[in-house]
Structure 1
Amino acid sequence: MPNKENDGLVDHPSRKKKISFFSAILVVMGSSIGAGIFFRSEQVLKNSQNSLILAIFCWVIAAFSVIAMGLALVEISSVRNDNLSLLGWTKTFNKRKIFKASKNFMLYLYLPLNLFYMPLYFIMSLQDGLGALMNKEAATFGTNVDWLLWTLISIGVSLYFMIVSGLNSKIGNIQNKIFTYIKFIPLVIVSVVGIALVGLNAGGSINIGFEKPTININGNLINDSLEKGASFSLFFPGIGMFLSISAIFFTYDGFYVAAGIQSEMKEPKKTPMVILFGLVITTIIYLIVAVSMSINGGSFSNMRTYMESEWKDIGRILFGLVNIMIAIGVIGIINSYSIWMPRYAENLIKEGEVPFSIKFKDKLNEDRPIVGVVFYVIWTIPLVIIFTLIGALAYINNYKDVYGSGMGKLYTFADLIATWMSMFTFLFIVTAIFGGIINRKTNKIQTNKSSYFLFTAWICVIVIGLSSLITILMPFIDLVMIALLNKNEIKAVGRDYEEIVIGRIMLVVTLFINAFLTFGIQFIEDKIIVKKYGSIAKYEEWQKENFQI
C-alpha cells in the first residue's frame, strides 16, 4: 500500500540504511496522519451517543489496538524485504484462499474505490470552503443534478492523477511533497480555534453522559426510536463503541506501511520504539483535534457557526481557507494512490495474478506503467459510476441539505464505503497476524521473534476482530428492524419511509458486492483454472514457469 510520504513502490535491498530514529518517527507519523480525522470525528461522537467521554474512550481503544498491530507487524514484516505490505504478509502466513482474497480486495476494491470516496471528500471540503468565501452555506451548481456535475469533476480529478502521476512518478512525488506540507496546517488551526472558542465561551457545550438516541435529518438532530427509523446500534453504547473503532481505523489507514521501515533504519532494533512513539504522537494530535471539534458541534463543518459568531467575517474567511487546505490534503492522498496503483497492477501481472497476464507481461514498463494505468482507468471509472448511482439515487442522507441534489446521499455513502475499505484492510492484516500467532507454535516460517509479539498480536486480533464482526452484522440487523418501522412516526419527523427501506437494502447489497469482488471472483477463477489445467497445483507450476515468482 502506498506510503503517504512517498510512492512506496520500488524495492531497494541494496540501499544503505540511513534513516535516523527521529526521521523514522516522522515517517510513521506521515504515513498515519491524513485528512480522515476531519470526516470521522462527528461519526464517532454520534456512535458514542454524543458523549465526549465515551468518544475519547473509543479513540484511545482504537489507537491502542492500532499501536498493538504496528508492534505485532514488526515480527510479521521481518520475513520479507519488500514493500508488498498486506499481500506479502497474507501470502507468507495464510493459506492460498486468504492471499487470493486479499489480492482481489486490493486489486478490484480498495484501490479503485479510493478514487470514489476520496474525490468526494475533496469536493465536500471544497464546497464548504468556497461556500464560506462566497458567504454561502456551501458552493453548489443549483441544479437538480448537482451530484452528476460534481461526479464528472471527481472523475476528471481522478483521471488527471491516474494519468499524470501514474505515468510520471517524478511529477507525482513533487506534488506529493507540496500536498503533504499543506495537510498539517489545518490540524494545527482547527485545534487552536476549537480550544479558543471554548475559552471565549463562544463554542459548544461538553456532554459527559449519554443523550437520547438521535438521528441527523437534514442537519437537525432529532430524538429518535426504532419506529422512527433509527439504527439499532444507537441504543447500545457498547455496539456504538465498536462501530466507532471501525470508523477510526480510516483515520490511521496507511500506518502499516511503516512496519517495514526496519530495513531502512540505522538501528533496526529501535523499530518498535519508532512505531510506538510515532503512533502515540499521532494519537495525541488526533485526540486534540477530535476534542476541539467534538466540543464545537462534532465536526469542523459545524464549527462555522461559532467562528462567525465570535469573529464575524474573519471567522468565515478562516473557515473557508482551512476547508480548502483540507481539500488539498485529500488531493494529496489521491495523488499517492494514483502513483502506486498502476505499478501495483503491473507487479501482479508480472506474477500472473491478473487475468490475461500472459498477454501483457512483455509490455510492462517500470518507468512508464502504461499497462497498469490503462487497467485501472478501464476498471475504476465504471466502478465509480456504479457506486455513485447507488449512493446518489438509492441511499440515505445524514448530511445537511445544503450541498445540492444527491450530494448529501453521496457523502453518507462515501462514509460507509471508506469505513468498510479500512475495516476490511485491517481485517486482512489481522488474519496475517493470526497466522503469525499460529506460526509461533509450528515454527514453519523463520521470523525475528520479539518478546511482545503474542501480547500485542492477541490485542489487535480481539479488538479489530470484534469491531469488524459487529460492523458487518449491523446492516443485517438493521435490515431485519425494518419490520419495526412505523410510516406515520417516520413521516412525523420529516423522513421518507421508502428512502430508509431502500437505503438499508442497498447497504446489504453493497456489502454482497464487496464480498463477491473479494471472494467470489477467485471462486470463479479457480473453477476456470481447474477446467483448463486439471488442478490448481498444475496451474501454479505453469505460473512459476512463465512468470516472475
Structure 2
Amino acid sequence: MNNKNNETEYELLGRANLPKKKNINFFTGILIVIGSSMGAGIFFKSKAVLESNSYSLVFAIISWVIASLAIVMMGVSLLEISTKNKGNLSIVGWNHRFNKWMTYQMSKNFSLYINAALTYFFMPLYAIMSFQDGARIFGFYNFNTKADWAIWTTIILIFNTYFILSSGLSSKWATIQNNVTLIFKFIAIISTIIIGFSIFAFQSKSGNGLDIHWLPKQIDTTNRPSSFLGIAPFGGLFISWAGIFFAYDGFYVSTGIEEELKDKKKTPYVLLMGLSVVTIIHLIIAIAMSINGKGDFKEYAQFLSQRKLGWIYGLTNFSISIGVIGIINGFSLWIPKFIEELIRMKDIPFYKKLANKTNESLPKVGVKYALILIQPTTLLFCIIGSTLYFPYDDPSGYHDLYGSGMSNLYNFADLMSNWISLLAFGFIALAFYGAIFESKKNPKHFPKWFKYVNWFVTIFLLAVVLINFIAPFVDIWLIIYEKNRLTYDVYIQTLRGRILSLIVLTGFILVITLPQFIAKIKGLKRKKTFIENNQC
C-alpha cells in the first residue's frame, strides 16, 4: 500500500520517470557495519580496561578476548534473530518480536529518549577531545575564553544538524561520508598500532624501564577510596567488560541497514563479517595501547615530541576525531528511519499527526522529529555537564588545557556513555532471552546451536549488567564507611562523583520504566470504569 502511495505521489509531482533510490551492495554494507561499530570505544576505553584490571596486561588481554568472543557470538545469534525481525527498529524490533509488551516499551523508551538523544551529546565530545589532543601539538589549546564550553556546544549543535540532515535524507551521501571517515579511522588504527609496538621495541632495545605489569599492580591505597572493583573477586573483569561493550556500541544500530541493502537476505552475513573484522582490529589495538603499561594514546605524545615527531601524534588524533564522526554518520542514517517506523506502528508521541506523512525513501518527518528531540537534549546536557559536573581528577593539569568547562564536559560524557552502553547491551540480552523461549516453542524455525549460543551470551551479558548496576550502590556505602580514613577533599569529590553516577542511572531507569507504568495504570482505570458503566 505504501509503495502505491509513493508511486502516486511521484506522478503528482511529475517525478514518475526519475530513477529509483539506489541501494547499497554487500561490501558497502560491511563497511558501514565496520564504520558504525568501531570508533570511540577502542581509543577512549583501553586505559579504563587496563585500570580496571589493576594494570595487569595479562588480565586486560583476557578481558578483551572474552568480551570480543561474546560479541562475535552475539553476531552469530543475530544471523537468526535479524532474519526473523524485519525493519529498522534494531534492539526495539528484537524485543517487540520476542518479548512481552512491557519489555518492548522499555527498550523503545531507552532507544529513543536516551540512546538516540544522548549519543549526539557524548559522541561529538569524543571527536572534539581527540581534535584538541591533536591540535595542541600545533599550538592550539583552547579558545581562551571564560566559556569555551559554550563555543564548542554551538559547534556540536551545527555538527549534529548537518549529519542528521545529510545522512538521514540520503543513504548515498551517508555511504560517501562513511567511506571517508573509514579511511581516517584506518589511518588512526594503523598509526596507533605502529606507534605502540615501535615504542615498546625502542624502549626494550634501549634498556629503558617499561611500566609493564603482567600481574595486578600493587597500588598505594593510603588516600585512595575503596571500590567494588577492588574488593570483589574478578570485579575488575566485569567492570572492564562494560567499557569494552562501548567499543562495539554502534553495531546494533547498523542492523537497521537492512532496508538499504540490495539483497536483504544477506543482512545477517553483513553483520557477522563486519563484527569479525572489528573484533580482530580491536584486539590488536588493545595490545598495542596496553603493552607500554599505560593503555592511553595520550602517553605517546611526550615520547614522539622529544624526537621531533609530535606531528605524527597530532595527525593521528585528527584521524581518530574524524573516525569517531563515522559512528555519528551511521547513527544519523538509522535514526530517522527508526523514528518513522515507530510512527507507522503508532507507538510514538504525535503519531496521529505524522502517520500519513512518513516516507521510507525520504524520511523527512523522521529527520524533523530527530532534530526536535536531539538538539534541545544536547544543549541541556552540555549546560549541565559544563556548569554542574566536576573535571577529571588530573594532577598533571593536562585536562585544564581543554578550556573552561571542557574537562567537566568530557568527564560527564564518560559517565553518560558508560551507562548508555551498559543499558543497550542489557536490552540486547533481554531480546536474546526472549528468542531462547521462542526457539523452544518453534524449534523447527531455529538451528540446534542457537539455544546454546544464546544461553551463553544472555547469561554473560546479564551478569555484566547486574554487577555493574550493583557496583555504584556498594561504592557509595564504601566511601561513607571510609570517611575518617580519607582526606576531606578526596572524600567529598569521590562521594559527589558516586552520587551523581547513581543519580544518572536512576534517572535513566525512570525514563525507561515510568511512562509504561503510568500507561498501565491509566489502562486499568479505563477498564475499571468501562466495567462499572456496563454493570450499571
**Which TM-score applies when normalising by structure 1?**
0.82
Residue number in structure 1 paired with 2:83: 78
Note the alpha carbon deviations across 1:455-498, whole angstroms, 9 max, x for none: 2111111111111111111111112223134367335xxx4543
Determine which of 325, 328, 336 is the counterpart of 1:331. Answer: 325
AA matched with 1:101: M
Aligned 8 A contact 2:80 2:446 in 1: yes
> How far apart, in 2, do the equivalents of 1:447 and 1:102 lie?
28
* Distance of aligned partners of 1:275 and 1:339 in 2 relative to their CA distance in 1, 3 Å threshold: closer
Displacement of 1:368: 4.5
The one of 446, 451, 462 aligned to 1:449 = 446
Partner of 2:151: 149
Letter in 2 for 1:120: L
Query: What are the within-5 Å matches in structure 2 for residues 148-547 of structure 1?
Result: 148-201=150-203, 204-213=210-219, 223-224=220-221, 228-236=224-232, 238-256=234-252, 278-296=274-292, 297-309=294-306, 311-312=307-308, 315-392=309-386, 393-395=388-390, 397-398=392-393, 400-401=398-399, 402-443=401-442, 448-486=445-483, 489-491=486-488, 495-529=489-523
Cα shift at 1:254: 2.9
Structure 1 residues without counterparts, runs of 5 or longer: 1-13, 214-222, 537-549
**1:43 Cα deviation from its structure 2 partner:** 0.6
In the aligned structure 2, how far is the partner of 1:91 from the partner of 1:486? 47
CA drift of 1:395 comes to: 4.0
Q: What's the CA shift string for 1:48-102, capped at 9, x where partnerless?
A: 1011110000001101111121112222223234343212211111000001111
CA change 1:472–1:270 in 2 (3 A) is: closer
1:307 partner amino acid: L
2: CA distance, partners of 1:532 / 1:407: 49
Indicate the larger mover: 177-186 or 254-263: 254-263
* Map of 2:533 onto structure 1: none
Indicate whether 1:42 and 2:37 are aligned.
Answer: no
The 1:398–1:287 alpha-carbon spacing in structure 2 relative to 1, beyond 3 Å, is farther
TM-score (norm 2): 0.84
Q: Residue by residue, what CA displacement relative to the aligned partner does 1:22-53 show, whole Å, maximum 9, x if unpaired?
A: 88766654453223210110010010101111
In the alignment, which residue of structure 2 is the partner of 1:5? none
- The Cα shift of 1:104 comes to 0.9
**Matched-pair contact (CA < 8 Å) for 2:120–2:160:** yes
| CA pair 421-276 structure 1, distance change in 2 beyond 3 A | same
Q: CA deviation at 1:414?
A: 1.4
Query: Structure 1 residues 281 and 480, CA, compared in 2 at 3 Å: closer, same or farther?
Result: same
Quote the offset at 1:110 in angstroms.
0.5
Corresponding residue SS for 2:366: helix
User: Following TM superposition, by how much is the alpha carbon of 1:270 offset from its aligned partner in structure 2, in angstroms?
Assistant: 12
Q: Is the 8 A contact 1:41 1:293 kept in 2?
A: yes
Deviation at 1:439, TM superposition (A): 2.1
**Rounded Cα–Cα distance in structure 2 between residues aligned with 1:451 and 1:269:** 21
Per-residue deviation at 1:369?
Answer: 3.4
Change (3 A) 1:184 1:534: farther
**In structure 2, do the counterparts of structure 1 residues 259 and 459 end up closer, same or farther at CA, with 3 Å as the change threshold?**
farther
Calculate the aligned-residue CA RMSD, in Å.
3.2
2:92 is aligned to 87
Measure the CA separation in 1 of the matches of 2:528 and 2:21. 43
Letter in 2 for 1:234: G
Aligned partners of 2:264, 2:370: CA distance in 1, in Å?
A: 38
Structure 2 spans left out of the alignment, 5+ residues: 1-19, 531-536
Structure 1 distance, partners of 2:54, 2:312, is 30
Alignment of 1:109-124 (within 5 A): 109-124=114-129
Change (3 A) 1:497 1:295: same
